[in-house]
Amino acid sequence: MGHRFSKRKLEGTENLSPGRFSVSEEAPPHYSSYSTGSEMAVSMETPTQRPSEVVNSRQDNRRPSIYSTMDAMPHLEFYANATATGRIRRCRPSLETLRKTVDVDSGRGSVSALQESEIESEENGPGGKTAQPVRFGWITGVMIRCMLNIWGVILFLRLSWITSQAGILLTWLIILMSVLVTSITALSVSAISTNGRVSSGGAYFMISRTLGPELGGPIGVVFSFANALACALNTVGFAETVRDLLIEYDSQIVDSVNDVRIIGSITVTVLLLISLAGMEWESKTQILFFLVLMVSFVNYFVGTLIPATPQKQSIGVFGYRSEIFLENLFPDWRGADGDFFRMFAIFFPSAIGILAGANISGDLKVTSICKHAKNKEATNLLNFLIMNDSLPLNFSEPCEGLSCGLGWNFTECQQSGTCTFGLANNFQVLIQVSGFGPLIYAGIFAATLSSALAFLVSAPKVFQCLCKDNIYPFIGFFAKGYGKNNEPLRAYLLCYIIAMCFILIAELNVIAPLISNFFLCSYALINFSCFHASITNSPGWRPSFRYFSPWTGLFGAVISVVLMFLLTWWAALIAFGLIIFLFGYVVYKKPGVNWGSSVQASTYNMALSYSVSLAGVEDHVKNYRPQCLVLTGPPTLRPALVDFVGSFTKNVSLMICGDILMRNSNDMIKWLNQRKVRSFYTSFKASDLREGARHLLQASGLGKLKPNILVMGFKMNWHESSSKVYLFGLSDAFDSNHGVCVLRMMDGLDIRDELETEGMLCSSVCVCLIQSLNNFSNAFLLPLFVSGLTLLVPYLLTRRKCWRRSKVRVFIIGEQQTMENDRKEMMTLLQRFRLDVHDVIVVTDSERPPLAKNMRRFEETLAPFRLNEGQLDERTAQQQRTEFTWKVTDKEMDSEKKVRLNELIRRNSKYAALVLVSLPVAQADCPSSLYMSWLDTLSYGIHCPVLLIRGNQQNVMTFYCQ
């Protein structure tokens, strides 16, 4: 905004190469990116370029900003997904480009930039020309298709019959209800289709790109199936007309039902051949059908104005008469189909033509005109009575009904039910009314065949788009296209088979309600898509079509669903059952597509709203959840740590994988999703573990969704490198009122070596975490260090399927004299906490000295860190105690209890799947090497994973109700 574009060309810029730098006094430098092996660079050039490389710089559309001479004006190619074949796509300068210094005077410099280009198509001929697909304008692509679909089989063969059943008033109501549903849907379609470029795929493409693949995939299947059914419907309508002609001339093939099947099968096969010939032939055929249809309509309207001959009067045609109009105002239900919603279900397929041109703007006006024309048709058809027997001028037989006053007696056939003419008895009324009957036959043929051909083309196109998106398995075979128009020949054959199956039903009134339900289902989701996209307030929802309301979309969705069940409840249940099944599959499989759907926007709104609301809620122990910040580094290198924490936080609480070094977060998140771990990933660039952990503890989370537990892997090489930073990290966690968990496995958690030697490992890396499911998970509670987390985590683990059969045993340290009391007290406490524990075991021999070999190992481990005061004089010893605070004094070497406890753990955990031990707390003056040796000793030699766990001395469980 605020820029002016000069109409004057700059001197020396008439022949500048696109995308190259032009350095002059009047124009800013231009840039282009080029590839240099694995890197990208931006080159600068002066106006002294070769004539073969230069073009008009005005087309480059770049002007300097007040900040940088390398800034570029926004251009369409910056946002396009693809460019024309053989062209190098322009790209905006990256932030790195703008920040780096470029020597404009010398015309040299190179910086990183982005480049996207397309190579010449393989389909290019020797002359370099590419076969262009056939494109249709709004007349042939939208108007004609919509008219042909709306003026279809229902209008010619069923509207007169519906009028005889429902009467004028209810027929108008049926038409108005159809117009209401389709008009609201048309508004929603216009809004969605003008919120960005819509590709092929019709309703499926719009719904999937608006609501996401979860609902888009199911509706793609349903909509494709509905179009295939519509093809069968119109083909059966054509076959019925041909059969009636054969009956009229006494030339049946087999019988009335099988004739429809035979004629329909031959017809749909011919239509398939036309479709396989290509879109050009199909379009030309549709134009021919349209012209025939227009002539047929003119013929019909002229026929209604011609005075009825005695021959027409004998079959109940009398022209425009007010008394006949009044006689037909109200319904006259007859037969099993005599029901308002049944009539609506049969009529509604004539309204589905609005989606024939849904991907092209401007079709709404055409659709509205077509609807009004049909309303007029319904009025003009009411010129007939249900009659067919003539009445002599001088008659003495009783006569009933309006026809008596018109000189005709149809009482006998009415009473016997043998009338073969009239609205209620004959589907070919338009032929009888028109000026020249054969032209109406031509119109019926044109209407039915054109609609059947349109649906036979649209169903494969929609299905091909669904198959390309690769949402469902085993359907990719049908995604392949052929020829310049990318024709889905395989999908054509599939649609042909489906249509053929329903043609064999040979009953128009049976197929029509099925189509109504499937299309109403599509309309409901289209309207809901518009409503949902509007109420999410996403900045990306910017439709250029403004004449819609989200509430009309919601109303359209609701009324469509209601009508589905009112029309044919069992078909509605089938449609919704199919959608729910397909929806569940997509939700479970989570296809790797991202279309920026309104569901994502709604999820963000809900998360933001709930997070803000949660921030104002006071914490309560009943709602405590272990929210873990897991220092995984790259999660791919420590899958066991990720999986273990995810096993008790999934669907329960927050988990954040923290990385001290900056990495590609998209790759890490994708890996977590593939592993089905519900976790966030956050990274922080820091000089060491302590600094990174401290900042992650402070900055991770949002509001109340902040970590309260720091989870780390045990540092296996603690004696080879400084352990001070590791201890300080634990101390910082306690200082910030966080709990701490340290996980150790016999072979360590880092699988870097395995990745280097064996390639990418599968989930079997952490298989030991879920082995021995019938064995025990042992929880050892050290005296003075009892943590509620040590009991809560096993409970959360047993809620998972793979741990459900595990039994939890609790070990506590006690005395022989009070062993029973200690056990009962702990059992009572656990029962009040409602924790299902298999057994509580009191260990009474913890005071016994450890085995000599175990004590010797402990001393050998600490030998490099000993101060060895006995070998030094007092002054030197004092000096070293001050200078080397990390060294262990003789007094601090008294750690027999830790060694003994390790012996007890190993003795009682031979068959355990997991061991949890309360983590000792290091005092402020505890040497880091001594503390690490404690942790090492406690967890040494245990075949299963060991979790050293410590809370923040606050309650995490309660047995009170409030």
Judged against a pLDDT cut of 70, whether residue 589 lies above it is answered with yes
DSSP 877-911: HHHHHHH-TTSBPTGGG--HHHHHHHHHHHHH-TT
Which of 53-57, 222-226, 867-871 is most confident?
222-226
Q: Three-state DSSP class for 215? A: helix
**Structure confidence at residue 487 (pLDDT):** 81
The CA distance from 900 to 922, in Å, is 19
Spatial contact of 348 and 516, defined as CB atoms under 8 Å apart: yes
**Structure confidence at residue 773 (pLDDT):** 34
Query: Band of the pLDDT at 261, cuts 50, 70, 90?
Result: very high
**Structure confidence at residue 761 (pLDDT):** 36
Spatial contact of 182 and 146, defined as CB atoms under 8 Å apart: no
Percent of the chain, pLDDT > 70? 70
Query: Band of the pLDDT at 132, cuts 50, 70, 90?
Result: low
The CA distance from 957 to 626, in Å, is 11
Say if pTM beats, i.e. exceeds, 0.85.
no
* Structure token pair of residue 138: 């709004």
**Structure confidence at residue 358 (pLDDT):** 57
Lowest mean pLDDT among 195-199, 526-530, 782-786, 790-794: 782-786
Query: Band of the pLDDT at 376, cuts 50, 70, 90?
Result: very low
Going by C-alpha positions, the residue among 393, 54, 368, 420 that lies closest to residue 184 is 368
**Structure confidence at residue 312 (pLDDT):** 66
For 263-316, what is each residue's pLDDT tens digit? Answer: 999 999 998 988 887 766 767 777 888 888 888 878 877 877 777 666 666 666
**Structure confidence at residue 424 (pLDDT):** 57
For 381-437, what is each residue's pLDDT tens digit? Answer: 344 433 334 444 444 556 655 556 555 655 555 555 556 555 555 666 677 677 777
DSSP 93-113: PPHHHHHS--BTTTTB-----
* CATH architecture of the domain formed by 138-589: Up-down Bundle (1.20)
Query: Band of the pLDDT at 370, cuts 50, 70, 90?
Result: very low
**Helices 159-193/508-535 angle, 10° precision:** 30
Query: Band of the pLDDT at 558, cuts 50, 70, 90?
Result: very high
The residue-averaged pLDDT of 64-68 equals 51
The residue-averaged pLDDT of 459-474 equals 88
Kindly report the backbone phi and psi dihedral angles of residue 952, in degrees, each rounded to the nearest multiple of 5, phi listed first.
-105, 25
For 475-490, what is each residue's pLDDT tens digit? Answer: 889 988 887 777 888 9
**Structure confidence at residue 393 (pLDDT):** 41
Compute the residue count for the chain.
962
DSSP 850-864: PPHHHHHHHHHHHGG
The residue-averaged pLDDT of 35-42 equals 38
**Structure confidence at residue 361 (pLDDT):** 34
**Structure confidence at residue 759 (pLDDT):** 40
Judged against a pLDDT cut of 90, whether residue 752 lies above it is answered with no
The CA distance from 769 to 773, in Å, is 9
Judged against a pLDDT cut of 60, whether residue 763 lies above it is answered with no
* Those residues with Cβ within 8 angstroms of residue 620's Cβ, 6 or more apart along the chain or in another chain: none
The residue-averaged pLDDT of 707-713 equals 91
Query: Band of the pLDDT at 46, cuts 50, 70, 90?
Result: very low
* Those residues with Cβ within 8 angstroms of residue 27's Cβ, 6 or more apart along the chain or in another chain: 10, 13, 57
The residue-averaged pLDDT of 67-81 equals 64
Query: Band of the pLDDT at 120, cuts 50, 70, 90?
Result: very low
Which of 709-718, 786-795, 920-929 is most confident?
709-718
Q: Three-state DSSP class for 727? A: helix
| Mean of the per-residue pLDDT values of the chain | 74
* Structure token pair of residue 161: 């019959």
Which has more confidence, 723 or 804?
804
The CA distance from 879 to 899, in Å, is 30
DSSP 404: G
Judged against a pLDDT cut of 60, whether residue 749 lies above it is answered with yes
DSSP 262-278: HHHHHHHHHHHHHHHT-
Lowest mean pLDDT among 32-36, 680-684, 803-807, 858-862: 32-36
Q: Three-state DSSP class for 813? A: strand
Question: What is the residue whose two structure tokens read 């200082």?
Answer: 735
The residue-averaged pLDDT of 208-230 equals 86
Judged against a pLDDT cut of 70, whether residue 760 lies above it is answered with no
The CA distance from 516 to 96, in Å, is 57
DSSP 13-55: -TTBPTTS----SSSPPP-EEEEETTEEEEE---S---GGG-B
Going by C-alpha positions, the residue among 138, 5, 23, 95 that lies closest to residue 59 is 5
The CA distance from 452 to 446, in Å, is 10
For 631-670, what is each residue's pLDDT tens digit? Answer: 988 888 888 899 999 988 988 899 999 988 766 778 888 8
Which has more confidence, 381 or 211?
211
Kindly report the backbone phi and psi dihedral angles of residue 778, in degrees, each rounded to the nearest multiple of 5, phi listed first.
-95, 130
The CA distance from 488 to 893, in Å, is 79
Which has more confidence, 117 or 572?
572
The residue-averaged pLDDT of 351-375 equals 48
Judged against a pLDDT cut of 80, whether residue 936 lies above it is answered with yes
Q: What residue segments make up the domains of the chain, in order of their start?
A: 138-589
